[in-house]
Amino acid sequence: MDKFKINFDKAACINCSACISVCDNWVMDDNKAKPKKTTLSEKEFKSNKEAEDICPVNAIKIEG
C-alpha cells in the first residue's frame, strides 16, 4: 500500500543531479530531475527521503 507522496517543485530544480545519485526513482527530463513515480510505498520511502535530504534547493518534499 502506498503511504507517501512526493511533491516536487520542478521550477526550483537547479539540475545538480544529487537526487539521481542517491535514488533510482529520480531521472533527468528536459534538463531537470523528476520522479518516475510520486506515490511511494514504505519500502521506497528511505531512498527517496535521501533524495529529499540531499537536494540543495529543497525542491523535493515527501508527505505521508
What pLDDT, in 10s, does the model give residues 31-53?
899 999 999 999 999 999 999 99
If one counts the domains in the chain, the total is 1
Contact 19, 55 (CB under 8 A): yes
CATH number at residue 21: 3.30.70.20
Q: What is the dihedral of CA 44, 47, 50, 51, to 10 degrees?
A: -80
* Residue range 60-64: mean pLDDT, rounded: 96
What pLDDT, in 10s, does the model give residues 1-37?
679 999 999 999 999 999 999 999 999 998 899 999 9
Could you tell me the residue range of the domain that residue 31 belongs to?
Answer: 2-63
